[in-house]
Structure 1
Amino acid sequence: MPGSRAQRRIAHRERRRAARRQALLAVASAVVAIGATAGLVEAGQEERRTTAVPEPAPSQRLPPLPAVPVPTALGPGTPSSTTALPPAPEPSRTAPGASAPPTASPTAPAAAPAPPPRTRLFRHPRSQVLDWVRANPGDPRRPAIESRIATRPAAVWFAAHNPGEIAGQVRTVTRGAAAAGRTPVLVPYAIPDRDCGGASRGGAPDLAAYDAWMGEFAQGLGAGPAIVILEPDAIALSDCLTAPERAARFAALARAGDTLRAANPRARVYFDGGHSGWHAPEKQAAALRAAGAATSGDGIFTNVANFHRTADETAYARRVLAALGGPPGLGAVIDTSRNGNGAPAAGQWCDPAGRALGQSPTTRTGESGIDAYLWVKLPGESDGCSGAAGSFTPEYAYALATG
């Protein structure tokens, strides 16, 4: 019957999409750094989750798979054994179903990129590594972990779709950074269909809800310099979507960039550039262009939670930017948290041995077109083998600190 044939065609198409999704997950960049560690905080996530350890990828060029770690709440009233940030005022509320604040007209000229920040980067005072350092004064690993990891600035992740709360949580971080005269690194991570349904699945229920959430996120940016790492993997890991789904996601990312930059012209918004072991620069640039990176952003980020050497990422980022084209001022930031010894051997992605800390976070790289080296994933935060995904494991941290 026609109905039965249609149902069989739908089932066949769904099986093909599932197989394609599994293949693509083998080349996803690792976004296993969403725990609350030395400034790397998953903000506003109240439920506790664990994830299974995925099978290792067979190819040396394949990156680790994503995983969402045990979350830690962030915001006013959250207990912490570390120094508290100034309390944030009551966040503004957005009614369910409300749209994000208006963004620039699509026919308006693109805003010029904000100047790259040249202030010191912010270290969030609530962290697992600081808790461990304080709780273990006699541990022989403590001096190396404290001096080489705990004192370094790192990104703050916002991975929960939590309308009504997100503005206040972002504001808490940006006010703390402004009071310290430093630049925060913020990671909004709530795109719908995040991680193609993999271990880091989640995000907003739909793009309308995502638009509204991003509007609230932008309300907390303040007026000081800020670096926004917009949705790791959202572009590089998008081939699992249908063409219409991908186009809709890219349009949402462009709207997000416009919203963030309109809210704070001093915020630098970077779009997902993957990494040097993934897509060819020309392919990644084409996807970035479709997502509005050249008109709604200030540049690209690469190597998030991965291990590729800084020199390789610098060359790759420059090729992507060249293929992307203007406007002048577009730059790149590189995650250097664990790339001191480069990528591990084939099939080793989960807390691989023999890795080392990379370049310390800084906005003064000395490299043209490279705006910052950042620790987007915090060293010592497990991929899920040395400890639970996202948990701080001192033996892994010490190995990286002394590698």
Structure 2
Amino acid sequence: MPPLPATRRLTIATVACLTAATGVWVSTGTASAGTVSGALYRDPNTAVARWVAANPGDSRVGVIRDKVASQPASRWLSSFNLGTVQAEVSTYVSAANSAGQIPALTLYGIPNRDCGGASAGGAPDLATYQTWIGNISRGLGGSTVLIMLEPDSIALQTCLSASEKTARDQALRTATQTLKAANANAKVYLDAGHSTWNSAGDQAGRLVAAGVANADGFYTNVSNFNPTNSEAAYGRSILSSLSGQGVNGKRQVIDTSRNGGASGDWCGDDNTDRRIGQYPTTNTGDANIDAYLWVKPPGEADGCRYAAGSFQPDLAYSLASSAPNPPTTPPTTVPTTTPTTPPTTPPTTPPTTTPTTPPTTAPAGACSATYQTASVWQGGFQGMVTVKAGSAAITGWTVTWPLGSGQSITQIWNGELVSGAPTVTVRNVSWNGALASNATAQFGFLANGTASTPAITCTSR
């Protein structure tokens, strides 16, 4: 994973710290407002996940596990290897598809990337670069995948001559077309820098030159720590400028991985004031924004104090220690569409038979789970699941149920989504797994589709 280029030192402005009260960390709870909906893929083999597994006794592990490793982040393709990249992409995308979740990829291999700075590298020439892109495209499959194409390739061009800029723009246009031709469901976003770099008008012109008309939109804030509301305003200005140039229908992606607080020097390796920002989601509640992503994985170094791209637990802990946990209460935003069927309506037909001797308690050491539809709106619903320990204490629980036709999980809180389809599997998070006898825990989720009452089961540890 590459660092932030040193060239960005002159472009970063001081921004105010954000708190949970600003809404930065709190999901809107609404149905997806952009063009993407569904749960983002959490890769179980990230650097942070491997560190957590290898260091169970570390005093920092609980915070890093629950606030960083538990979240989906983009997979970077930054090591230029023509021979293995197709298999790497195919394996990653297939795992996400099997989980019923949306993978995110960041492609970082264009020649002369970072203008030869701290993140120098990439393909030796543009012809080889297109071969690399072609190999990546053949591993994408046919389901939705989010692609952040070449960070800094458009916002940072100070080292390029006029002819080199033209060649790079053509390379990005061709790459976008290749990726989308290979997978019609691929969402490709181009580099738009951030709100304290180029002006919106300048950046929009650069995007047009690089072929944003062929892409799904643009992403911002990968190379900075600006507040989400500042990036959203910047995105709206870019969209307005694009419209003035005849390019419409595009969307924004915002990197929120480290923008929960920002001040001090440019390098994340040295800055102890930064915090993780809003947790990744496609439920943005903003029609202009397709997703809040963790493009730059929290805890991976920028290359100042540590090797660029290496995972550093002290960085991850600093980012996460004072941040709130992932959402632990149901969303408070009420759907704008009135539920078609009140969730409290009882079944119109009672069961044809009733148990002759229903158990009064769950077996010792076991657990039970009950489901309730909390709210319903056009195209989606909110469900709540209550887990109860049996007559003996348990140390953890796992709940499963078959996903109904047309349903997909888009968000979950107070639980870890292990699998989203065809069977939903949710297990406890660190703070609600251990239950005393007859004690309860509750988790909730948002889903697309029509609400139904599933056959739900619970197993304990």
Q: Calculate the TM-score normalised by the size of structure 2.
A: 0.62
Partner of 1:322: 240
1:400 aligns with 2:319: yes
Distance 1:125 1:322, change over 3 A: same
Give the % identical residues: 47
Task: Name the CA distance, whole Å, in 1 between partners of 2:172 and 2:235.
Answer: 20
- State the Cα distance separating 1:62 from its structure 2 match: 8.6
Partner residue of 1:139 out of 58, 66, 71: 58
Structure 2 Cα separation of the partners of residues 309 and 300 of structure 1: 17
1:209-358 to structure 2, matched below 5 A, reads 209-293=128-212, 295-325=213-243, 327-341=247-261, 343-345=262-264, 350-358=269-277
| Contact 2:239/2:248 (8 A) holds in 1 | no
How far apart, in 2, do the equivalents of 1:263 and 1:362 lie? 25
Moved over 6 A (4+): none
Any conservation in 1 of the 2:221–2:255 contact (CA below 8 Å)? yes
Deviation string 1:139-186 (CA, Å, 9 cap, x unpaired) is 221111101000100001111232232211111111011001111111
Partner of 1:32: 3
Deviation for aligned residue 1:219: 0.6
Q: Residue 157 of structure 1 aligns to a residue in which SS? A: strand
- The count of corresponding residues between Structure 1 and Structure 2 is 302
- Indicate if the aligned counterparts of 1:123 and 1:153 stay in contact, CA closer than 8 A: yes
Greater strand share, structure number: 2
Unmatched segments (≥5 aa) in structure 2: 16-33, 323-461
> 1: CA distance between counterparts of 2:158 and 2:11?
19
Matching residue of 2:44: 125
| Matches of 1:346 and 1:131, distance apart in 2 | 29
CA contact (8 A) 2:107 2:149 kept: yes
- Aligned-partner Cα distance in 1 for 2:8–2:166: 31
Deviation sequence 1:252-275 (CA, Å, 0-9, x none)? 100111111111111110000000
- Which residue is 1:57 aligned to? 9
Cα separation, 2, equivalents of 1:58 and 1:220: 38
Greater shift, 119-128 or 352-361, is seen at: 119-128
Task: Return the letter of the residue paired with 1:372.
Answer: A
In the aligned structure 2, how far is the partner of 1:145 from the partner of 1:349?
17
Larger radius of gyration: 2
Structure whose residues are more often helix by fraction: 1
How many angstroms apart in 1 are the aligned matches of 2:177 and 2:144? 16
CA contact (8 A) 1:255 1:296 kept: no
CA pair 165-355 structure 1, distance change in 2 beyond 3 A = same
* Secondary structure of 1:57 counterpart: helix
| 1:201 positional shift | 1.1
Distance 1:54 1:243 in 2: 23
Cα distance in 1 for residues equivalent to 2:256 and 2:37? 18
Q: Secondary structure at the match of 1:209?
A: helix
CA 1:269 to 1:211, structure 2 compared with 1: closer, same or farther past 3 Å? same
TM-score after normalising by structure 1: 0.71
C-alpha distance in 2 between matches for 1:309 and 1:334: 10
User: 3-state SS of the aligned residue for 2:9?
Assistant: coil
